[in-house]
């Protein structure tokens, strides 16, 4: 029988999550029928995800992969899996524990740092920026925010001024309204926009356009590398920090398969080839696989778009 893997996603209403799902299903082991991946929608609720973890244990899945909603609130999934002796892999975002079998993640602090860096570099470490934040108090907002701040603090003291920072709840529509209001409050003063994800950066771009400014006069960055952001990069409107959904999804499936199947298992995804030198397979024994972020540039954007089917 195929290896049954429960893949706990924190939600599934964003393009990034859909990409992870897609790449999970495209993993060679899944395609060849060696593994069967069942995806669970955590409905953006840490408690729901914990319940789903317990259910996966009760249903005797062979392995669990969790893309956690929260850094702290989902630790229980690791605990119950360990108690039941089921291998558990954390992917995409980190969990504040060391008890999992392994992590295949991209560091959000690093992502936040890279995007802020991109904005500040374009501004030459000088000017006024606004930060559009993720949902207040969520892991994404906290960690990416930390990265944002680190980058800002590397500029000379007082050279960069954060005019405003407020949440738009990962939503393009909310960011659009928020940015419009900021442009009203600070006419001609805003130089850069740090969106903690791409959607919000794209909302800011729409706001800038609708207010009659030229987007190219702004330094704008987001995180994730969703398709629209790739297009915007191509149009020279923003920078996006690509979070590799394929690397995370397929990498964690390989790690989980190895734990279930045993020493005979050889990694089947080609991501290990792709990241050779940056992220080594190491027999599936590494505690933390850091899937590298990729800064999307006009140079590499076409290849990325092609990979998405465009």
Partner 1 sequence: MQTGSRAGTNPLAMREYGIVFAFIGLCILVGALCQLKVVQGTWPQNAFLTVNNLLLILHQISVNGVLAVGMTFVIISGGIDLSVGSLLAFSGMMAASFATRSPGVTAWAGNYGAFIPIVVALAVGSASGALNGWIISRFKIQAFIATLGMLMAGRGFTMAVTNGNPISALGPEFRWFGTGKLFDAIPIPAVILGIVFLLAWIILNKTVFGRYVYAVGGNEKSARTSGINTKAILIWVYVLSGFLAGVAGVILTAKTGSAQTAAGTSYELDAIAAVVIGGASLSGGIGRLTGTFFGALIIGVMNNGLDILGVQSFYQLIIKGSLIVFAVILDPSRKLTA
Quote the least distance from Cβ 24 to partner 1, whole Å.
13
128 binds partner 1 (CB under 8 A): no
307 binds partner 1 (CB under 8 A): no
Q: How far apart are CA 41 and CA 49, in angstroms?
A: 8
- Select the span of 114-122, 135-143, 235-243, 285-293 touching partner 1 (CB under 8 A): 135-143
For partner 1, give the closer residue by CB, 153 or 181. Answer: 181
243 binds partner 1 (CB under 8 A): no
149 binds partner 1 (CB under 8 A): no
Quote the least distance from Cβ 277 to partner 1, whole Å.
32
Cβ-proximal residues to 277 (8 Å cutoff; 6+ apart), any chain: none
Any alpha helices (H) in the chain, and if so which ranges?
Answer: 15-25, 28-31, 46-58, 75-83, 108-123, 139-153, 172-185, 198-210, 227-234, 245-261, 271-274, 301-307
**What is the dihedral sign for C-alpha 273, 278, 283, 287?**
negative
Identify the DSSP state of 33.
T
208 binds partner 1 (CB under 8 A): no
Cβ-proximal residues to 203 (8 Å cutoff; 6+ apart), any chain: 132, 168, 171, 172, 173, 174, 175, 176, 178, 179, 195
Q: How many residues bind partner 1 (CB under 8 A)?
A: 65
Out of 35, 63, 75, 193, which residue is the one contacting partner 1 (CB under 8 A)?
A: 75
Lay out the sheet containing 88-92: strands in order across: 35-41, 3-9, 63-66, 88-92, 102-105, 288-290
Conformation bin of residue 170: beta by default, left when phi > 0, alpha when psi is -120 to 50? left
- Select the span of 16-24, 109-117, 259-267, 283-291 touching partner 1 (CB under 8 A): 16-24
Out of 32, 153, 184, 282, which residue is the one contacting partner 1 (CB under 8 A)?
A: 184
- Select the span of 107-115, 172-180, 255-263, 275-283 touching partner 1 (CB under 8 A): 172-180
191 contacts 218 by C-beta, under 8 angstroms:
yes
Out of 34, 44, 125, 300, which residue is the one contacting partner 1 (CB under 8 A)?
A: 44
Q: Which residues of this protein are in contact with partner 1, per CB under 8 A? A: 12-15, 17-18, 21, 38-41, 44-48, 50-52, 54-55, 58-60, 70-76, 96, 135-138, 141-142, 164, 166-167, 171-173, 176-178, 180-182, 184-185, 187, 199, 202-203, 206, 209-210, 226-228, 231, 309-310
């Amino acid at each position: 029988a195929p290896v049954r893997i429960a893949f706990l996603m924190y939600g599934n209403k964003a393009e990034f999550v859909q990409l992870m799902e897609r790449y999970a299903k495209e993993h060679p082991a899944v395609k060849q029928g060696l593994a069967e991946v069942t995806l669970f929608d955590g409905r953006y609720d840490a408690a729901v995800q914990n319940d789903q973890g317990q259910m996966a244990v009760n249903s005797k899945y062979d392995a669990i992969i969790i893309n956690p909603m929260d850094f702290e609130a989902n630790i229980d999934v690791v605990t119950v899996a360990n108690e039941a002796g089921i291998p558990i892999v954390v992917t995409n975002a980190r969990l504040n524990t060391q008890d999992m079998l392994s992590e295949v993640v991209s560091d959000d602090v690093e992502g936040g740092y890279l995007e802020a860096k991109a904005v500040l570099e374009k501004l030459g470490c000088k000017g006024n920026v606004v930060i559009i934040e993720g949902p207040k108090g969520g892991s994404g907002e906290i960690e990416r925010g930390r990265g944002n701040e680190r980058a800002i603090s590397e500029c000379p003291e007082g050279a960069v001024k954060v005019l405003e920072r407020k949440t738009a709840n990962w939503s393009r529509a909310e960011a659009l309204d928020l940015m419009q209001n900021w442009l009203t409050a600070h006419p001609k003063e805003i130089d850069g926009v740090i969106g903690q994800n791409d959607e919000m950066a794209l909302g800011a771009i729409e706001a800038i356009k609708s207010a009659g400014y030229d987007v190219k006069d702004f330094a704008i960055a987001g995180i994730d590398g969703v398709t629209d952001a790739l297009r915007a990069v191509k149009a020279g409107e923003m920078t996006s920090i690509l979070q590799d959904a394929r690397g995370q999804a397929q990498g964690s499936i390989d790690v989980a398969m190895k734990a279930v199947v045993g020493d005979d298992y050889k990694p089947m995804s080609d991501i290990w080839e792709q990241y050779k030198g940056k992220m080594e397979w190491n027999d599936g024994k590494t505690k933390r696989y850091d899937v590298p972020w990729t800064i999307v540039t006009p140079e590499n954007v076409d290849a990325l778009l092609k990979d998405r089917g465009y």
